[in-house]
């Protein structure tokens, strides 16, 4: 990374995370007349200290930050953006959509009393309320302020530091993941598109289908050096993609086998979790299992029966009750 970093004028800033991944890589790009930041980490007083320390070390006046770019709307990437914007007065730019997780606090509150799919996962009432309250509390501390956001929807290239990058968009991990590609060097700032274990956390209808499409698109892309938001950079990108696709297929196969018996989303989540194949985070883990199940319904492998307050899934042969 050091050599490429020097060539591109980019410094990696690694921040701690209190999540199932314990670190995130943010980046600072040095330009002729200022600096660009890619991703901010979540907000904690310690994280802000880390940013200030990095600014001191690199002799950056916070007001010389030209822009803060966010790869996507997951809290580990944008949580500190509001506070960092106050410090630098720089524009914060990202892809934007309705129901953006930047506003997760608001729609989490709605889930508690509205007709949201989350209410159909078969989660015991107290556990559901606990899971949502916990997320609200986490979000209030991890993203205490919401930045003013500039949309970069139609932009095809971007100057980061002193180099031009193509802006590429992928969905699956989230609806609109921004990646930055340097065509001559074939260097790819990938955000979370190829992080393992990757998780799907999306507000679109078919995240898993989109995710498999993304893997296919990336297989075709000439990438010499991939720099992810979590973990170390790597070169053998096609092999990594193959491993990720295989892991997903194994999860789906395990679920299909399990669903000879009727199951709720919550039961399927507990089943996958018991073999370490679901996220430990209940809220995001449930959402991911729900996407798997819906994917299998669309593939014609399962059927879903909706009662007044729950979804039940089962394979097409099944009639056996649990």
Sites of contact with Zn ion (CB under 5 A): 76, 192
What is the rounded CA–CA span in Å between residue 182 and residue 165? Answer: 5
Please confirm whether the linkage preceding 194 is cis (ω < 30° from 0): no
* Minimum separation from the CB atom of position 22 to Zn ion (A): 11
Cβ nearer to Zn ion, comparing 192 with 210: 192
What is the rounded CA–CA span in Å between residue 204 and residue 171? Answer: 9
Cβ nearer to Zn ion, comparing 60 with 174: 174
Q: Which two tokens stand for residue 180?
A: 């930055």
Q: Which two tokens stand for residue 216?
A: 């296919």
* Minimum separation from the CB atom of position 76 to Zn ion (A): 4
What is the rounded CA–CA span in Å between residue 105 and residue 209? Answer: 27
Strands 10-16 and 23-30, sheet pairing: antiparallel
* Minimum separation from the CB atom of position 162 to Zn ion (A): 26
In sequence order, the β-bridge partners of residue 35 are 30, 65
Cβ nearer to Zn ion, comparing 21 with 252: 21
Cβ nearer to Zn ion, comparing 66 with 77: 77
Strands 225-228 and 302-306, sheet pairing: unpaired
Cβ nearer to Zn ion, comparing 163 with 192: 192
* Minimum separation from the CB atom of position 281 to Zn ion (A): 12
* Minimum separation from the CB atom of position 263 to Zn ion (A): 29
């Amino acid at each position: 990374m050091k050599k490429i970093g020097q060539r591109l004028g980019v410094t990696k800033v690694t921040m701690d995370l209190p999540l199932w991944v314990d670190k995130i890589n943010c980046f600072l790009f040095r330009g002729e007349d200022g600096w660009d930041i890619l991703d901010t980490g979540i907000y904690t007083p310690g994280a802000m200290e880390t940013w200030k320390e990095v600014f001191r070390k690199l002799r950056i006046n916070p007001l010389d930050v030209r822009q803060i770019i966010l790869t996507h709307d997951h809290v580990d990437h944008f949580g500190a953006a509001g506070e960092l914007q106050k410090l630098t007065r720089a524009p914060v730019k990202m892809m934007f959509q309705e129901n953006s997780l930047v506003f997760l606090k608001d729609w989490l509150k709605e889930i508690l009393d509205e007709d949201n799919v989350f209410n159909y996962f078969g989660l015991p009432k107290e556990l559901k309320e606990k899971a949502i309250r916990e997320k609200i509390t986490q979000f209030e501390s991890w993203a205490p302020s919401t930045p003013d956001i500039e949309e970069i929807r139609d932009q095809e290239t971007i100057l980061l530091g002193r180099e031009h990058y193509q802006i590429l968009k992928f969905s699956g991990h989230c609806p609109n993941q921004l990646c930055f590609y340097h065509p001559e060097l074939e260097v790819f700032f990938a955000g979370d598109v190829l992080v393992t274990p990757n998780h799907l956390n999306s507000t679109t209808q078919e995240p898993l289908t989109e995710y498999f499409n993304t893997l296919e698109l990336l297989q075709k892309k000439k990438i010499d050096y991939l720099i992810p938001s979590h973990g170390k950079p790597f070169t053998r990108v096609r092999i990594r993609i193959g491993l990720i696709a295989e892991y997903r297929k194994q999860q789906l196969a395990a679920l299909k086998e399990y669903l000879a018996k009727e199951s709720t989303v919550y039961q399927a989540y507990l089943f996958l979790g018991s073999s370490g194949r679901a996220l430990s985070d209940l809220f995001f883990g449930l959402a991911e299992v729900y996407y798997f199940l819906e994917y299998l319904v669309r593939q014609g492998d399962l059927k879903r029966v909706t009662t007044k307050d729950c979804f039940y899934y089962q394979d097409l042969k099944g009639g056996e009750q649990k």
